[in-house]
Amino acid sequence: MKKYSLIKFLLLCLVFGFGVSSCSEKLDVREGQLNTGDLDYTDASNMIQPLIGAYYEFATRGWEEPLLLGVRGDDVNAGGLGDQQPFADTDRYDYEKNYWMYNSLWNVHYNDIINMNTAILQLENFKEYADEEGIARADQYIAEIKVLRAYLHFNLARVWEDVFIITSNQPEEELELGVSSKADVMQFISDEMDMAIENLPDMRPNERTDIRGGVTKYTAYALKALAHQELENYQEVADAAGAIISSGKFSLYPDFYQLFKKPGELSNESLLEIQYSDYGTEAGDELYHLYAPFGPQNWTPVRENAQSGWGFYEPSEKFIKFMLDRDEETRLVTSVLFTDRGIADLQADGYTDLPAFVSNVTPSGDIINDYARARFASGKHYLPSIQLTDGRNDYSAGKNLIVIRYAEILLMYAEAITLGASAPSISADEAVNIVRDRADMQPLSGVTHQQVLDEKFAELSMELGIRYYDMIRHDKYGELSYDGREFSADDEYLPYPQAQLDALPIEATAVDRDTPTNEILRQLN
Amino acid sequence: MKLKLLFICMVLLSGFGFAQETKTVSGIITDQNAMPLPGAEVKVIGKEIFDVTDFDGNFTLEGVETGDAVRVTYLGFVPQEFTVTQTNEYSIALEEDADQLDEVVVVGYGTQKKRDLTGAISVIDSEEIEKTPSSNVMQSLQGKVSGVQIVNSGSPGDSPTVRIRGLGTYGDATSVLYVVDGTLYDNIDFLNSKDIASINVLKDASSSAIYGVRAANGVVIIETKSGRKNQKPQFEYDGYTGFQRAQNVVKLANTEQFATMARESGSAAEIQFIENAIQRYGRSRINPNVPAVNTDWYKEILRQGIIQNHSLSVSGGGESVVYALGANYTGQEGILDMENSYERFNIRSKVDVDISDRLKMGVNSIFSNAIKYAPENGAWFRAYFAVPTMPVFDELNTEASPIRYSNAQLLGYRGTQNPFQDLSYNENRIKIRKLLTSMFLQFDIIEDKLDIKTTYSHNFTALEERNVNLPYTLGNNFERRSSIRRANNNYSNQYWDNVLTYNDNFGDHDLTLMAGTSFRDEASNTFSATGFDITGIGLETSWYLDFADPDSFNSNVSEVGRRFYGLSYFGRVAYNFKDKYLLYGTFRADGSSKFTLDPWGYFPSLGLGWVVSEEEFLRDNEVLDFFKLRASWGKLGNDNVAASAGSNTIEVVTTPIGDEPRTGLTSTSVFSNNTWEVIEEYNFGLNIEAFDNRLSVDADYYIRDTHDAILPVYIPIVNRSVDRNSGVIRNEGLELVANWSQQISEDFTFRIGANFTTLKNETLEIEDERGYIDSGSAEFRQRTTIGGPLLGFFGYERIGVYQNQEQIEADPVAVANGLVPGDLIYRDQNGDGVIDDADRVILGSFLPKYTFGGNIGFSYKAFDFSLDFYGQAGNKILNRKRGEIIFTQDTNMDADLAINRWHGEGTSNTYPSSAGLRKAWNQRLSNFWVEDGDFFRIQNIQVAYNLEAKGIPNTRIYLTAEKPFSFFDYNGFNPEVADGVDRQTYPVPAIYTMGVNIKF
């Protein structure tokens, strides 16, 4: 009996032992996740996926980004009174480093940069296994991503002056090198663009068939020009912008109003444009930018149930009066949505004989009603309710966001020449008059720098802070000191967000100890 | 009385058979109160004559002789012996055993006598659990177990947060392990309180180390009720019904106060919005400066809820089979005025069979079928912010349909604000089906000494979610389309345990050895899809995705799956010498597929005990009945961490390119190769029983260090948090429990008990070059820093409010920051004359420093009464409802904030002015927003009447008030906020019930 049970016992042990040891292999199994190492990098047909991913990152901008980039200009004021007080304070150059918008702008930009860097690494993996055609394609894709990445760095340096240049997806080492001066960042962009230009297609973005509206050689030139504009290397600006003009590929979209609506999407004027869409379907997939902050808070749309906005972005009276004084119609009507309350305020200020187009009914028939938060709303971020896809009610749902357009290139080019650069392409007069012509404005001759700046004011208002950065570049603090504001040199850049000061390692300040921002970092850490 | 007469008759009658050599005796076994005890064992010592009392307590022994000694035993009572005399009828009253030390405690893959324990294990009586009318067992433990913090959830069907001995890590990694009849769970919301026989909380590392990798946050062992051998079927019905209502409702600012705040803010737009409300809804006749509307939004969204519970069970057993079967229904309505409820139906069976005298087999299963209508917690938040100048319904809002709800946008505000759009037009249903099933086979290799047991268990959970969004319009062009989201989640966890146990005693030595293996396979899968524009949305019968616009599924379908494996080898030795010296040791080797570098971790533990009262010098002591000193040490691991932290993962995305959807990849670029989070704990304790076991005192002191604590570390630039091994967290505390119970007279007994727990949560080391780890959002910062608690609130220390212009001018800080009277004054911590980031300090922790609980109870004749209380102190709560004024400042607030605002010199030295509230300086995180969470609560009051009479079954009728009174200063519904951040916490209601319990 005893022996029998011993055998049974041993048998049991054997069964359990066998069962258990066969389980131990399972410890190396990772189910339900796809790792970067699991991709098949030998299949070149998948190569485009990281690139699409990078365009996706570029499209997912925070709603606060364009607001914050633009609000400090004298073309626009913070609306949304009674809401987002630190945003209104920012408009008045009273900065709060704890404000979430600053932190979000920083975070979203850098996060996208990191993800783009990972996409570049993946493309390099593809390149290793690719044939000659594949290698060229990988190089082109990498160049495209570098242009997008450069634009993000460009924004950061414009807002904070000295920022980190991040080119890897494990940024510890680059953080230890500390922040780079704004000049270094701009030079980095220029160098990157020089390399990218080699590998990018020689066409307009809307001519591309693989990625319609994607980055081309001329987008890189445009960024190079912008970077040098910040560096005030006007000859470089003229050369880069001239390359775009001389290509003869670009032209202004004839209808200035529709340029910012659906018909003007991916036009021959567009050099860099963020694409949003609901693909014309009532339901299902979509990718939108949240334009509600730009919209009027109360309206009667032509198409029912089209939602109104939040009234956060109010064109300034200064801008409107500037335009009225110049007898601008096309560009004023396109840039500003009026309310009766706003019109009454203009009349009270002596503009008693306003032209008929100054009306609370937009050219597309939507009626803007009075609301307490603001008196005017941005027209360039407005999509007429009749252009919304059926069943889609979000304010300006599916509208693209133009980042760089040919008109800016022309005016940047003209400005560089009026500041002494030699003209590699057309004359400054010609460049300015192309822009004026579309706006039904009389041509100028012997155009001056101030005239170019005014032209930029009229043409590019409300667009991503172009006006503000022009003003601080030329130290025109007087222009920014309007409506009770006082601007001084100290107000040019935003303070680093508190959350970043807390999060960045002390070593971030170790290398370049001379910049004032590093001094601040050191104190705060 | 009648029974006794009957016995006397029987005795007389049976007297005729006296002449026989062997005879038959019979009798009745009762307790002190003459209540019959069914199932008591009656055995003739030294003979194979044996019986078990029937339901009426009767026994019969055949073939006994005069002079035989008979022993009567019954669990929980002092065994008694009697000698067979000439009488053939015996009435034996057993005394309840106040000394519970021989009680057997389940310790994980085995049992131990309570007197032999060397670790810190709290045993909770099932009666204590049953007193609380709750669908979740753990809610009833609040305040009853020292060292265990329970944070209740008011939402029907939700589980409370349970923390054993503080917090050593964060996130999902903090959940307690529940072992229900040997099977592992993270959540026990499927269990009915009435089915539970015992709950043991394994608090120290030595006790829980046998569960190794799953034990890091403590282990709660739950045994469900079983039948007993040779027991007549016993039926039990228990049911209660009652209602629940919100307590301590926060008072919101009324129209008058809100309008005053708006006017004092100096914001033209806010003043205009008040005017807009006057225009729309008319002027108040009492105060012509405010609109004729005064909505108390909390009052509008709250309601009373009905709660009920009914259980029916039967248990019993024969020679070779024992069984316990039952069914239970529980239903609870939430206090939020929408489809918000929880209903659960359980069926349960537990059957053990002796197949032969050496082979035993058992099957245990619980099926739980629940439907939960989850609340729209956002409504709590919206109700707080909705302006009182707007009514619930607005007949002027003719564009709103199907109901004419008001819309704050029509007054000029950014949001629609009205919480009823969420309450009326959203429905969130979750069908929760859980099946616990396990089977064991036990074979005695050497009888009573060596056995092997193999157990396979499977716990299967299916969660079927359906979120329905009904279409509506709300005026101001606000239209929502209909949609339905469906998600099916399946969890399938399988365990296979093999345990070999050897028991022996020789001389003064008592030894138990155990060795085992365990294999775990835990898989989960979630499939979800959302469809829009549902045809026939008006009828619930068409709430299926089949009726959605097929185009709308595009990119609204997802599936996520995970599967983890674990493999363990473990062993235990328990030894005692002369019942005086105790030794306990365990070892476990754990493999987990979650760790990419090295899947194996090794976790030893050791416990020592000395029963001092067994020593000669205390033997004759009159006072001390039992005195034990014990010490233990152990290590535990934690694999309850995100597995994907170990690699770089890819996500599929879609973006429009030329108006066409194009699919691409993005990838996360941070990862960490984590190693095991290891908990090391020392525990020192004592147990005392004194004054004839009337007094019992347990005390424990512990130091619990979490090494390589896996915390979410924010990676700047990358802007992601990654779980990384990043510090050493110490939890240290003292736990005291004292109970006294006494029978004063035959009719009157009373008991009183109290427990007290301290907790010091401290960060000892930070493995991060910054020296701290930030959590929470940038605006509401929480920081873990050396010497501070885990995730302490981090900000400025408010020391007052600027009262006048002279004070402003005298303070360079105020001048430098452009402050005005009514702004907060912060302490200049480093004394450098400026207020900047360096002046931020830890403002406190959400973990209470002290918790205490207690109970008082007495019974007098058929009545009994009990009262429980609970309190905590030293924890902080971030009042984020208030704090979110930093995002939108024109909405409503609570009345306290409006009334106590600074509005002129001397009006307040703690609250800023209305204008100040809207200013970034005052909006910085400070102890103005972080409040004390101390509270004291009468937890439970119960009065019961026990009806015992011939002809009717034993019946107990009881009235319960659960959490009827709470006392605290915090400006919220309730200071029970699990993570200390109060944004939209569902209030914990008071519950009043009446119930009946019948046994037959």
One-character DSSP codes across B565-624: EEEEEEEEEEEEETTTEEEEEEEEEEEETT-SS--EEEEEEEEEEEEGGGSHHHHT-SSE
By C-alpha distance, the chain B residue nearest A29 is B593
B395 and B286 co-located in one domain: no
- Cβ neighbours of B519 in A, within 8 Å: 19-20, 23
Pair (A332, A389) in one structural domain: yes
pLDDT attached to residue B673 = 66
Going by the DSSP 8-state scheme, the letter that residue A272 receives in this structure is E
Q: Please tell me the pTM assigned to this model.
A: 0.83
ipTM value, please give it. 0.86
Q: Is residue B430 part of a domain?
A: yes
Range B845-863 burial, b when 16+ CB lie within 10 A, else e: bbbbbbbbbbbebbbeeee
Residue B574 in any domain: the answer is yes
- Is pLDDT larger for residue B610 or for residue B49? B610
Structure tokens at B633: 């040490």
What is the signed CA dihedral for A285, A290, A291, A295, rounded to 10 degrees? 110
- Determine what percent of chain A is predicted with pLDDT higher than 90: 76
**Contact flag B664-A48 (C-beta cutoff 8 Å):** yes
Q: What is the pLDDT of residue B99?
A: 55
Give pLDDT, residue A517.
Answer: 42
Domain assignment of residue A495, yes or no: no
Half-sphere exposure of B824 (CA within 13 A, CB side): 27
**CB distance B664–A56 less than 8 Å?**
yes
Identify whether residues B853 and B991 lie together within a single domain.
Answer: yes
- Confidence grade of residue A509 (pLDDT, cut at 50, 70, 90): very low
Q: Does B682 touch chain A (CB under 8 A)?
A: no
- Could you say which of A481, A504, A519 is where a domain stops? A481
Residues A426-468: pLDDT tens digits? Answer: 999 999 999 999 999 999 999 999 999 999 999 999 999 999 9
The answer to whether the CB atoms of A52 and B655 lie below 8 A apart is yes
Is residue A2 one of the residues assigned to a domain?
no
> Which residue among A19, A38, A111 places its CB closest to the CB of B719?
A111
| pLDDT tens per residue across span B295-316 | 999 999 999 999 999 999 999 8
Same domain, yes or no: B310 and B418:
yes
Both B272 and B319 in one domain: the answer is: no
Q: Do residues B608 and B693 both lie within one domain?
A: yes
Residues A208 and A301 in one domain: no
Looking only at the bridges linking them, the beta strands covering B177-180 and B219-224 are: parallel
A425 and A388 share one domain? no
Q: Is A211 on the interface with B (CB under 8 A)?
A: yes
Q: Domain residues for B447?
A: 305-795+847-875+933-999
In a domain, B694, yes or no: yes
Write out chain B residues lying below 8 Å of A86, CB-based. 886, 920
Domain end among B293, B320, B346: B293
CATH number at residue B480: 2.40.170.20
Distance CA B543, CA B446 (A): 61
**Contact between A23 and B567 using a beta-carbon 8 Å cutoff:** yes
pLDDT for A388 beyond 90: yes
Shared-domain flag, residues A264 and A346: no
Q: For residue B324, list its beta bridge partners.
A: B315, B350
Judged by CB atoms closer than 8 Å, whether chains meet at A500 and B716 is answered as yes
pLDDT at position B644 over 80: no
Answer yes or no: is B722 within a domain: yes
| Residue % of chain B over a pLDDT of 90 | 51
Residues B715 and B566 in one domain: yes
B664 chain-A contacts, CB cut-off 8 A: 48-56
Domain with residue B82: its CATH number is: 2.60.40.1120
Mutation target for A interface from B440, B650, B670, B720: give the one with most A CBs within 10 A: B650
Residue A12, pLDDT score: 60
Of the pLDDT bands very low, low, confident and very high (cuts 50, 70, 90), residue B172 is low
Residue A506 pLDDT class (50, 70, 90 cuts): very low
Whether chain B has a CB inside 8 Å of the CB on A50: the answer is yes
Question: pLDDT at position A508, please?
Answer: 35
pLDDT value of position B18: 44
Judging by beta carbons within 10 Å of its beta carbon (0-12, 13-18, 19+), is residue B48 exposed, middle or buried? exposed
Task: Please tell me whether residues B367 and B260 are part of one structural domain.
Answer: no
Closest CA to B727 of B677, B793, B691, B781: B677
Please answer whether residues A58 and A274 qualify as being in contact, where contact means their C-beta atoms are separated by less than 8 angstroms: yes
CB contact (8 A) between residue B496 and residue A19: yes
B121 occurs within a structural domain: no
Identify the pLDDT of residue B11. Answer: 43
Q: How far is the alpha carbon of B519 from chain A, nearest alpha carbon, in Å?
A: 7
Q: What is the DSSP code (8-state) at residue B410?
A: G
* CA dihedral of residues A446, A450, A456, A462 (deg, nearest 10): -160
| Eight-state DSSP code of residue B194 | G
3-state secondary structure (DSSP) of residue B475: coil
B444, B532, B562, B655: best to mutate for the A interface, most A CBs within 10 A: B655
| Contacts with A, B 530-549, CB within 8 Å | 531-533, 548-549
Q: Is residue A23 part of a domain?
A: no
Whether the CB of B452 is below 8 Å from some CB of chain A: the reply is yes
More confident residue, B693 or B9: B693
Taking Cα atoms as reference points, which of B723, B844, B710 lies closest to residue B788? Answer: B844
Residue A271 sits in the same domain as residue A313: no
Interface test with B, best of A21, A95, A105, A118 (most B CBs within 10 A): A118
Closest CA to B681 of B170, B198, B147: B147
The answer to whether the Cβ–Cβ distance between B658 and A103 falls below 8 Å is no
Q: How many other C-beta atoms are found inside a 10 Å radius of the C-beta of residue B47?
A: 14
pLDDT of residue A34: 64
Name the domain boundary from A379, A397, A415.
Answer: A397
User: Which conformational region is residue A15 in: left (phi greater than 0), alpha (psi within -120 to 50 degrees), or beta?
Assistant: alpha
One domain, residues A218 and A345: no
Please name which of B702, B679, B765 lies closest in space to residue B728, comparing C-alpha atoms: B765
Residues B699-745 pLDDT 10s: 999 999 999 888 777 778 877 777 778 889 999 999 999 999 888 88
Q: Cβ–Cβ of A298/B920 closer than 8 Å?
A: no
- Residue B802 inside a domain? The answer is no
Please report whether residue A19 resides in a domain: no
A186-195, A248-257, B366-375, B633-642: the lowest-pLDDT one: B633-642
Orientation angle between helical segments A234-247 and A217-231, nearest 10 degrees: 160
Q: Which of A341, A366, A397 is the last residue of a domain?
A: A397
Is any Cβ of chain B less than 8 angstroms from the Cβ of A287? yes
Q: How far apart are CA B756 and CA B735, in angstroms?
A: 6
Answer yes or no: is A10 within a domain.
no
**142-171 in A: which are within 8 Å (CB) of B?**
164, 166, 169-171
SS3 B181: coil
Asked if residue B187 belongs to a domain, the reply is no
Q: Do the chains contact at B556 and A49, CB–CB below 8 Å?
A: no
pLDDT at A507 over 50: no
Q: Which domain holds residue A376?
A: 292-397
Helices (H), A77-131: 85-91, 100-129
CB contact under 8 A, A284 and B556: yes
Q: What is the mean pLDDT of residues B667-695?
A: 84
Q: pLDDT confidence of B171, banded at 50, 70, 90?
A: low
Are A176 and A505 in contact by the 8 Å Cβ rule? The answer is yes
Contacts of A276 in chain B (CB under 8 A): 656
- Residue keyed to tokens 């939040």: A310
Residue A17 lies in a domain: no
Does A34 fall in a domain?
no
Reported as a single tens digit per residue, the pLDDT across B566-614 is: 889 999 999 999 889 999 999 999 888 877 667 888 999 999 999 999 8
Of the residues A6, A87, A180, A502, the best mutation for testing chain B's interface (the one with the most B CB atoms within 10 Å of its CB) is A502
Q: How far is CA A210 from CA A277, B176, B231, B656, B799, in A?
A: 18, 53, 80, 13, 63
Per-residue pLDDT band at B670 (split at 50, 70, 90) = low
Does A1 have pLDDT greater than 50?
Answer: no
Interchain proximity A307–B523, CB inside 8 Å: no
Domain boundary (B79, B96, B113) is at B96
Q: Are residues B410 and B279 in the same domain?
A: no
Do residues A182 and A271 both lie within one domain?
Answer: yes
Query: Is there a contact between B412 and A114 if contact means CB atoms under 8 Å apart?
Result: no
User: What is the predicted pLDDT for the residue at B110?
Assistant: 86
Mark whether A82 and A99 lie in a shared domain: yes
Do A351 and A366 fall within a single domain? yes
- The verdict on A156 and A297 lying in the same domain is no
pLDDT at A70 over 90: yes
- A53 and B665 within 8 Å at the Cβ level: the answer is yes
A129/A213 same-domain check: yes
CB contact under 8 A, B521 and A108: no
Report the candidate in A294, A256, A349, A260 with the shortest Cα–Cα distance to residue A77.
A294
Q: What is the CATH number of the domain that holds A473?
A: 1.25.40.390
pLDDT of residue A516: 44
Mutate to test the interface with B, among A83, A87, A294, A519 (most CBs of B within 10 A): A83
Q: Are residues B271 and B400 in the same domain?
A: no
Residue B13: its pLDDT value, please? 43
Mean pLDDT of all residues in chain B?
88
Residues A59, B656: C-beta atoms closer than 8 Å = yes
For B666, the closest of A56, A266, A524 (CB atoms) is: A56
Lowest mean per-residue pLDDT among A150-154, A399-403, B165-169: B165-169
The residue type found at B921 is: W
- Buried b / exposed e across B351-383, counting CB within 10 Å, b at 16+? bbebeeeeebebebbbbbebbbbbbbeebbbbb
**What is the number of domains present in chain B?**
3
Strand partners, B460: B435, B492
Report the Cα B17 to chain-centroid distance in Å. Answer: 62
Number of domains in chain A: 2
Quote the pLDDT of residue B70. 87
pLDDT in tens, B821-832: 999 999 999 998
pLDDT 10s digits, B870-921: 999 999 999 999 988 888 888 999 999 999 999 999 999 999 999 999 888 9
Q: What's CA B120's distance to the chain center, in Å?
A: 20
Is B356 in the A-facing interface, judged by CB distances under 8 Å?
Answer: no
Residues A316 and A409 in one domain: no
CB pair distance less than 8 Å for A284 and B551: yes
Do B320 and B280 belong to one domain?
no
Residue linked to tokens 């009043």:
B992
Position B1 scores a pLDDT of: 45
Q: Which of B548, B667, B837 sits opposite A498 (nearest CB)?
A: B837
Cβ distance B593 to A30 less than 8 Å, yes or no, reads yes
Q: How far apart are CA B604 and CA B570, in angstroms?
A: 9
Together in a domain, B312 and B284:
no
For residue A192, is it within any domain?
A: yes
Does the CB of B414 have a partner CB in chain A at under 8 Å? Answer: yes
Q: Is residue B141 part of a domain?
A: no
Q: Which of residues 461-520 of A touch B (CB under 8 A)?
A: 497-507
> Which secondary structure element, helix H or strand E, spans residue A234, and what is its range?
helix A234-247
Q: Is the domain of B686 the same as that of B562?
A: yes
Record: contact B478-A307, CB cut-off 8 A: yes
- Are A12 and B443 inside 8 Å of each other by CB? yes
Mean pLDDT of B658-672: 80
